[in-house]
Amino acid sequence: MPEKILCHRCSFILYQGREPVLPGDVVKKYDRCPRCLTKLSRKPIKVLIEIRGKK
Protein backbone atom coordinates (compact mmCIF):
# COMPACT_ATOMS: atom_id res chain seq x y z
CA MET A 1 0.00 0.00 0.00
CA PRO A 2 1.38 3.41 -0.93
CA GLU A 3 2.32 5.61 1.96
CA LYS A 4 3.54 9.06 2.82
CA ILE A 5 5.70 10.22 5.63
CA LEU A 6 5.21 13.85 6.52
CA CYS A 7 7.00 16.40 8.61
CA HIS A 8 5.11 16.65 11.86
CA ARG A 9 5.30 20.44 11.74
CA CYS A 10 4.76 21.64 8.17
CA SER A 11 3.54 18.46 6.50
CA PHE A 12 6.37 18.49 3.99
CA ILE A 13 6.40 15.15 2.21
CA LEU A 14 9.56 13.43 3.36
CA TYR A 15 8.75 10.22 1.61
CA GLN A 16 6.13 9.05 -0.78
CA GLY A 17 6.03 5.77 -2.54
CA ARG A 18 4.84 2.26 -2.77
CA GLU A 19 7.67 0.70 -0.86
CA PRO A 20 7.02 0.69 2.85
CA VAL A 21 9.76 2.45 4.78
CA LEU A 22 10.54 2.81 8.41
CA PRO A 23 9.99 6.33 9.72
CA GLY A 24 13.28 5.95 11.57
CA ASP A 25 15.14 5.53 8.29
CA VAL A 26 13.59 8.70 6.91
CA VAL A 27 14.65 10.59 10.01
CA LYS A 28 18.20 9.33 9.57
CA LYS A 29 18.20 10.42 5.95
CA TYR A 30 16.99 13.97 6.53
CA ASP A 31 17.71 14.75 10.18
CA ARG A 32 16.03 18.10 9.60
CA CYS A 33 13.02 18.92 7.51
CA PRO A 34 14.21 20.46 4.19
CA ARG A 35 11.42 23.01 4.28
CA CYS A 36 11.01 24.26 7.83
CA LEU A 37 14.37 23.04 9.19
CA THR A 38 12.71 21.55 12.20
CA LYS A 39 14.59 18.77 13.86
CA LEU A 40 12.56 15.76 12.97
CA SER A 41 10.99 13.85 15.76
CA ARG A 42 11.76 10.22 16.24
CA LYS A 43 8.41 9.40 14.83
CA PRO A 44 7.33 11.58 11.89
CA ILE A 45 3.77 11.44 10.82
CA LYS A 46 3.15 8.37 8.77
CA VAL A 47 0.16 8.44 6.50
CA LEU A 48 -1.19 5.62 4.48
CA ILE A 49 -2.60 6.86 1.23
CA GLU A 50 -6.15 5.84 0.94
CA ILE A 51 -7.11 4.47 -2.41
CA ARG A 52 -10.39 5.87 -3.55
CA GLY A 53 -12.95 3.67 -5.12
CA LYS A 54 -11.24 0.48 -4.14
CA LYS A 55 -13.08 -2.56 -5.29
Asked if 36 interacts with Zn ion (CB under 5 A), we say yes
Check residue 40 for interaction with Zn ion (CB under 5 A). no
Considering beta carbons, is residue 5 or 7 the nearer one to Zn ion? 7
Candidates 5, 6, 14, 33; binder of Zn ion (CB under 5 A) is 33
What is the C-alpha to C-alpha distance for residues 40 and 20, in angstroms, rounded to an integer? 19
* Distances in whole angstroms, Cα of residue 31 to Cα of each of 18, 25, 48, 53, 54: 22, 10, 22, 36, 35
Q: According to the binding rule CB under 5 A, does residue 9 interact with Zn ion?
A: yes
The reply to whether 10 sits near Zn ion by the rule CB under 5 A is yes
